Amino acid sequence: MAYQGVFSLSFLLLTLPFSLSNPSPNPTSFRVDLHHRDSVHSPLHNPSASSYALRKLAIERSISRHNALQWAISGKYSPSDLKTEVKEIPGEYLMKITIGTPPQPFWLTLDTGSDLLWTQCEPCVVCFERDGENFNPENSCTYVALDHTAPLCHAFHPVAPTQNPCPYYILYTDQSQSTGVLATESFTFETSRVDATTTNPLSTAYRISANTGYNSSASANPLSSPCKTNTNACYNSSATTNPKSSHNFAETNLSSSTNISSDSTPGSKNSTTPSASTAGTSPSVKVIRTTDAIQTVLTGIGFGCGHNNTGNFIAAMAGVAGLGGGLLSLPSQLGGGKFSYCLTFGNAIGQLIFGDNPVFDGPNTKRTQIIKDPDNPIFYFLNLEDISVGDKRLNIPPETFDNGGFIIDSGTTLNYLANQAYRLLTNELKAVIQLEAANDPRIDLDIVLELCYKKSNNYEGIPDITYHFSGGADWKIPPQNSFEHVSEEVICLALGPSEDEEASILGNFAQKDMVVEFDVNNNILSFAPADCTTF
């Protein structure tokens, strides 16, 4: 989800005290179940929709997201440029979490194109319609609204705000927006893979010092003591101000927020970062095992509690979980800056993993550098050097992708290539594929999906496509990951041309059945083939 809100961020390294239900000297890295938005497990599942109709909608969302990414990267935004009407915020993979103590369950959209986890909260001033209840901080004893002096607040704002509690503001490229309060809370992540072999230790470094609460006069931080049965009595009685009762959301001053093209973008020469000497309360982690699930409970996670949220949001979703390269994202708060995912086809459940992943010790692992763009620090850019069709290199000119103008993104379904590379690839495919060409009269997206054929058995006659990334990292895309079924009889190349050379994209369709790891600290992308239904 491309957005225009800007964060100028820095971190503090903290020791993470482990509190395990099954004590172990090496607590495990943890997993979360991932669901495609159209799967039977998703709250967005529409049992009456045909598979063709769902694919068409996914393609439309992909076009909208690609346009949004182009706008965000170029710094040029014009709503009139929309080629497809945006009916809702794009987001292809979802995860279910619980927030607060006692826990309140919510579905969030996963997004590698933004870096803040936020959810819609009570009291709701102006909000989008929800199918369920909003998160209510009054019902949680682990909620802490942040003071404007908190390091996380300083990290969010290039110019420190003066009001309490600390505000946040995000504007997305389709003009959807979320406004609210920065806070910390307890989050529970659950996986159904009880036999998973993720055994490497979870990092003992929590990276954001966020827990300077708005209730700064309290003699004890509520995160440091157990919650009481009466959640309204969780806060220290000596406090002169309760952070839950003093918010003035309608009058929050957001003048310190900036546009993505501003010189105060994170990583730019004019960005402001807070001192790394201030420490907050160290968050804690607890792992709970049952016969059919593993839950990881983390207390003290920074997030946005949104009280004004308008735009193309989905009623079944409570907010967004940012996995972008910015320093505020979940990967940067959890697991020492590493996360990986394994995306699935159809109704199968995929996995999101925080921490080290032992699969990347195997011989099939490929690694390439993540290119950091100071003007767009939330995106994961890669250096694509060339493309092959079968065994034939296309010899794409090196300047085509501008040494890093290629994004890997979980929220875009299709792949996109700069025009020159797109033409070289499609021309070669036309030359080698001998199947009967086809156009599906029910799909009105031929400008995007222009290379279509009558379906063959087991994709016979269709070659592999290999993306050659720097460092000798070859990503082989088999036919089932490059050609999409747009109807019962027709398959089309899941690839579109990109007008902006900096917005070539490796989308999620090509990433399925590939476990992909993002090492945010060391700027390394690792990947290896896997059966994501059992991974």
CB atoms within 10 A of CB 419: 14
Chain length of the chain: 535
Reference 90, options 78, 72, 102, 106; nearest CA is 72
Low-confidence winner among 54-68, 186-200, 237-251 (lowest mean pLDDT): 237-251
- pLDDT mean over 1-13: 31
Q: What is the CA radius of gyration of the chain?
A: 23
Whether pLDDT at 244 is above 60: no
Percent of the chain with pLDDT over 90: 38
Give Dmax (Cα) for the chain: 78
Q: With cut-offs at 50, 70 and 90, classify the pLDDT of residue 438.
A: confident
pLDDT value of position 457 = 82
Q: With cut-offs at 50, 70 and 90, classify the pLDDT of residue 199.
A: very low
> Catalytic pick from 174, 356, 409, 500?
409
Comparing 528 with 315, which gets the higher pLDDT?
528
Inter-residue contact 214 to 164 (CB < 8 Å): yes
| Side-chain half-sphere CA neighbours of 262 within 13 A | 19
Whether pLDDT at 387 is above 70: yes
Q: What is the mean pLDDT of the chain?
A: 75
Provide the 8-state DSSP code for 431.
H
Whether pLDDT at 128 is above 70: yes
pLDDT value of position 500 = 64
Percent of the chain with pLDDT over 70: 71
Low-confidence winner among 25-34, 222-231, 347-356, 379-388 (lowest mean pLDDT): 222-231
Comparing 162 with 145, which gets the higher pLDDT?
145
Q: With cut-offs at 50, 70 and 90, classify the pLDDT of residue 196.
A: low
pLDDT value of position 444 = 54
- Sheet of 473-477: strand order equals 392-393, 384-389, 465-469, 473-477
The three-state DSSP-derived secondary structure of 32-95 is: EEEEECCCCCCCCCCCCCCHHHHHHHHHHHHHHHHHHHHHHHHCCCCHHHCCCCCCCCCCCEEE
| Angle value at C-alpha 182, between 71 and 335, nearest 5 degrees | 80
- pLDDT mean over 229-244: 39
Rounded to whole angstroms, the Cα distance separating 168 from 8 reads: 12
Told to judge if 111 belongs to the known catalytic residues of this protein, a careful annotator would answer yes
Reference 486, options 91, 64, 40, 57; nearest CA is 57
> Catalytic pick from 33, 38, 111, 519?
111
Whether pLDDT at 513 is above 50: yes
Q: Quick one: fold of 359-529? A: Cathepsin D, subunit A; domain 1 (2.40.70)
CATH architecture of the domain with residue range 14-45+92-222+233-358: Beta Barrel (2.40)
Provide the 8-state DSSP code for 122.
S
Give 55-90 pLDDT, tens digit per residue: 888 888 888 788 777 777 766 544 434 333 333 455
The boundaries of every CATH 2.40.70.10 domain in the chain are 14-45+92-222+233-358, 359-529
